[in-house]
Amino acid sequence: MDLTEGKTEEILMKINAYKQLLCQTDYKTLKYVDGALGEEEYSEIKSKRAAYRSNINRLEEELEKELEKLREAQSI
């Protein structure tokens, strides 16, 4: 495994960790949508979920760059 492959695996692990954090807050999100959780109670969760999604998006962009490096290296 070279550095690019290792970096790719690391990025995938981070993406999966953030997705797991999103899953862990799905129940409270559904409670909020159903009206069982108030805006004040949900605001911190909402902010955290937005940060998780932002991190996932950033990591997915980084992953695509690393995958492009792998494709280029394999074509040489």
pLDDT > 80? residue 41: yes
Predicted structure pTM score = 0.87
> Domain range spanning residue 35?
3-75
Euclidean distance between CA atoms 44 and 52, whole angstroms: 12
pLDDT digits (tens, 9 = 90+) for 50-72: 999 999 999 999 999 999 988 88
pLDDT > 80? residue 76: no
pLDDT of residue 70: 87
The pLDDT confidence band at residue 1, using thresholds 50, 70 and 90, is: low
Number of domain units in the chain: 1
Euclidean distance between CA atoms 44 and 64, whole angstroms: 30
Q: Is 35 helix (H, G, I), strand (E, B) or coil?
A: coil
pLDDT of residue 2: 67
